[in-house]
Each structure stands twice: as structure tokens, then as C-alpha cells.
Amino acid sequence: MIQNRKKGKVLLGMSGGVDSSVAAVLLKEKGFEVIGTTMQLWENVQGTVEDAKKVCEKLEIPHHVIDCTKEFRTHVVENFIECYTCAKTPNPCVECNQYLKFGAFYEEAKKLGCEYIATGHYAKIEYEETYGTYVMKKSQAKEKDQTYFLYGIKKEILPHVLFPLEELKDKEQVRKIAEEYDLSVVHKKDSQEICFIPDNDYVSFLKKEGQKEKQGNIVLKNGTILGKHKGLMHYTVGQRKGLGIAYEKPLYVISLNAETKEVIVGEEADLYQTTLLATNVNFLLPIFSTEMNVTVKIRYRAKEAQATIKKQEENWLVTFKEPQRAITPGQSVVFYIGDMVLGGGIIK
């Protein structure tokens, strides 16, 4: 918990939203020396910078802007484009957290002599006697918990990470604190879009980035051709609407084949699988076995499912106790032991 940490200088990531603004309030209340910092990741961030700056002026803490547009393009945007090229569905927030908000940001903190970095994420860092190290745990605000997006953080920096919102139980508490301090962002809405695609039209974005709509066949899993599709970028596993084909039963996208440019469809029962392979796995806890019983999330809003994970060369095989719906290549799979984040990886 934050109150158990030695007080020191903190580099706080400020997005211009209410969560990171209240994080600044809580850090200052607990006696930390706070430096508010906004990472410039994309072109249209002026409003974000201005909102963060106003809050810092109100709280009488310094505010800086760090230009990370080049790193963001390399690690997040290019990865996003590459995933769609390979017929996968990416999760850019995971990449951004790993390489920018808890990567480049931490390096900047060290340059400024800060002992900690902090963000307005809903998660918790605690020292766990069982492992003799700091661990990441789920937030008290269960509906807002963001640990699914944070598994990619390097475990070595956990002792230097603070999540000031860790003990708050819901968004209402956050906004109440913002009201008490008369912060200008108190009623600012949460962003629901990908930050570099504010209109949520990712297909148009991909086209602007030079991606072509390569047409191909829509086929049943037995190979029967049902029609043509307008490009793999328009489809994802589990999709039902927008297929543009007629069939005697409702059909869903069950997989995409980048090599043959096929959209494979089937009935809803075909969406359920009992295994997946996780690659690029990052562990936040010490690993004492090559096979473990855990709970698993295959998407942010999915319920945790019981599973066994087993080392398989450089990857980890996940076997579920009950079949899971619409396991999607490119998305993240995250492993938990109780309320602790064991780690996670990318669905292959």
C-alpha cells in the first residue's frame, strides 16, 4: 500500500482525465513530492495537455510534457498495423503500457531523480511476504480493475510503481475527491476510443496507413465457399453482423486466414475452444513450476475462467476447465492467482 512506502519524488503520468488528476491529489496528501507529466503520444493531444496543466496549477505542482511520439509510433501504432496485416486483433493499450507508460516513462523518472512513477490506473501494488517481493493485485474497484492491461510491466520496476487509486472502490469516489478540490476535470468523461483513432474508425485509419482491402472468400469450416468478403481488416473472431451472406443458420466468424485471405465462418458452437497458445509471456511473480493451476481472462470484460497453464517450448499452453467463447489471436490472455497478477501474453 502507498502509505507503507517511503516518501519521495514521484513522476506522475497525467492524461488530463479525472483519474490521474485525483491520483495527484492523493499523492500530495500522503506527502510525496509530485511532478505531473503528460506524455505526448500522438498529434491531437493539446486538450489533454491543457487539462493536465490546469490541474497541476491548481494543486501547485510542476507540470512537464515529454515527447514520445516516435516511440509510440514504433511500439504501438506499427504493432497495431502489423497485427491487422497478419489477420489478428491487437490491443494497443497493452503495448502502450509496456513500452511507454511503464517503459520510457520510468527511464525519464530516473533521469529526473524520481524514486517512483505513478498513474491513475485502477490496480494495486503490495509487498507480498510469500514471494518476498512486490506484486500487482486487482483494484478495490472491481468493475474498473485494469490489471488486464498492465501485465506487461517488467516485474523489476514494481517496487517503483504507485497506483494512488488502489483503495478507492468506484468512480463515484474519484469524482467526489475531484469535486472537493474543485478540479476542472471533475465531470470529464472517460475516453472509450483508441487514442490515435478518436472516431473509432480503425478501417479508415488502416487505409490511410497504406493498408489494402484485399478481398477473398467467406467459407464454412469444411471449405464450402459462401461468398466474398471486402478485406480481412473488417472482421474479427466472434463477429456476426456485416458478413453479407445468407445461410440457413446464424453464422459467426470463427477464424481468419491471412495466407489464403479467407474468413472462416461457422455456427456459434464453433466459437468455443478449450485451449489456446500464449506467446511473448511476461511473468510478474516468481515461477516455480512449468505447469500451474490459475484463473484466466481472455479479454478485458471476460469473466475469469479456471485453467491450467503449461510451458511449451517458448510459449505457454492454456487449457480451460470449460470451453471459452471467441478466443481471438492478437488479444491478451492474463493469468491470476487469487487477486494477484501472475502474468500474461498474446494469444497466438
Which residues belong to the active site?
96, 195
* Distance between CA atoms of residues 85 and 207, nearest Å: 11
Name the β-bridge partners of 219: 225, 264
Q: 3-class SS at 134?
A: strand
Q: Which backbone phi and psi does 170 adopt, to 5 degrees?
A: -165, 175
Q: Residue 124 — left, alpha, or beta (φ > 0 → left; ψ -120 to 50 → alpha)?
A: beta
Of 287, 260, 191, 202, nearest to 236 by C-alpha is 202
H-run or E-run covering 135: strand 133-137
Alpha-helical (H) ranges within 193-329 are 202-208
* Distance between CA atoms of residues 135 and 149, nearest Å: 15
